[in-house]
Amino acid sequence: MAITKSTITIHMVSSLDGFIASKDGSISWMNSNDHYENGITLTEEDVRAFVDRIDCYVIGSHTYEHALELGWPYGDKPVIVLTSRNLESDRSQVEFYSGGLQELVRDKLESYQKIWVAGGSKIAGDFIRLQLADEIIISIMPVILGEGIPFFDQIGQEQLLHLENVTAYQDGMVELSYEVKRRQVTG
């Protein structure tokens, strides 16, 4: 049996002060009017090629409900919604999951190669706390929101990272990619 290594990436868009959603739930701040001269821009083809490589999305129920409301960004890729609520979907690609994260990774995610965890902050925090994430990508918008929902649920433990990549875009967004360093497991 061929073993393909899964990669679990946590990605979120954040304000400089670390919020992923403003208090009133608005996401208009994600559209920046800034202009950074040295930044790059992506073509639609770049974005499509990138998204095509994602095999599976993992999201929380609030992110799921926002996606239903604001426009479904996940195409027809498998989407696992982590929730203990009793939700239903008429999309066959959507699966609701209420079990533990370790079991999720072992039983469901290992058949995928590129797994994208798209929020919210509690799920991101749980993945990091349990050392189940391989990579964290933060896209920082050029704005201070002042209040809102924080990117990082208090994780409560230190986690070393390795800077993998830095990309600045013409709209002033900066994308920081980090590898999550695994702790030494003894015994």
Q: Mark 26-55 with x for binding to a second copy (rule: CB under 8 A) and - for no binding.
A: ---x---xxxx-xx----------------
Contacts with 70 (C-beta within 8 Å, 6 or more apart), sequence order: 27
174 lines the binding site for a second copy (CB under 8 A)? yes
Give the number of other CB atoms < 10 A from CB of residue 84: 10
Which residue in 80, 81, 117, 140 binds a second copy (CB under 8 A)? Answer: 140
| Minimum CB–partner distance for residue 68 and a second copy (Å) | 27
Angle at 152 between CA 151 and CA 155, to 5 degrees: 175
C-alpha dihedral, 86 to 98 to 79 to 8, nearest 10°: 160
Q: Which residue has the tokens 């409301």?
A: 69
Which residue in 130, 146, 182, 183 binds a second copy (CB under 8 A)? Answer: 146
Nearest partner of 137 among 81, 179, 95, judged by Cα? 179
State the DSSP string of 37-73: TT-B---HHHHHHHHHT--EEEEEHHHHHHHHHH---
| Minimum CB–partner distance for residue 9 and a second copy (Å) | 15
22 lines the binding site for a second copy (CB under 8 A)? yes
Closer to a second copy by Cβ: residue 116 or 178: 178
Interface region with a second copy, contact rule CB under 8 A, candidates 14-22, 68-76, 92-100, 111-119: 14-22
134 lines the binding site for a second copy (CB under 8 A)? no
158 lines the binding site for a second copy (CB under 8 A)? yes
| Minimum CB–partner distance for residue 22 and a second copy (Å) | 8
| Minimum CB–partner distance for residue 169 and a second copy (Å) | 9
Closer to a second copy by Cβ: residue 4 or 38: 38
Angle at 167 between CA 138 and CA 4, to 5 degrees: 65
